[in-house]
Amino acid sequence: MKVLGLLVAVLFFVLAILSWTGTFQSALLFGHSAMHNYKHTILYAVLGVLALLWVRFQGSDATPSR
């Protein structure tokens, strides 16, 4: 599960960077105006941080629980 969480975090951070630079405009996919705003950038960055927190709170598979 840690690998999945890291992949999701990397994906969201890449989407945040692409949205910030204007390369990826998710609003255009849904038929909205092409005006550049930073709401999606902030959303993708927050989701990336939450994915990293998910990885952090996963239990360690190598050590037995006490």
Residue 34 token pair: 């092409």
What does the alpha-carbon distance between residue 18 and residue 50 come to, in Å, rounded to a whole number? 19
pLDDT digits (tens, 9 = 90+) for 20-29: 888 877 655 6
For residue range 36-58, what is the model confidence (pLDDT) as tens digits?
A: 678 889 999 999 999 999 999 98
Instruction: Find all residues with CB under 8 Å of 12, minimum gap 6, and list them.
Output: 44, 45, 47, 48, 51
Averaged pLDDT score across all residues of the chain = 83
pLDDT at residue 28 in the model: 59
Question: With contact defined as beta carbons under 8 Å apart, do 24 and 59 qualify?
Answer: no
Confidence of residue 62 (pLDDT cuts 50, 70, 90): low
The residue extents of the domains of the chain are 2-56
The residue with greater pLDDT, 11 or 20, is 11
Q: At what angle do helices 39-56 and 2-21 cross, to 10 degrees?
A: 160
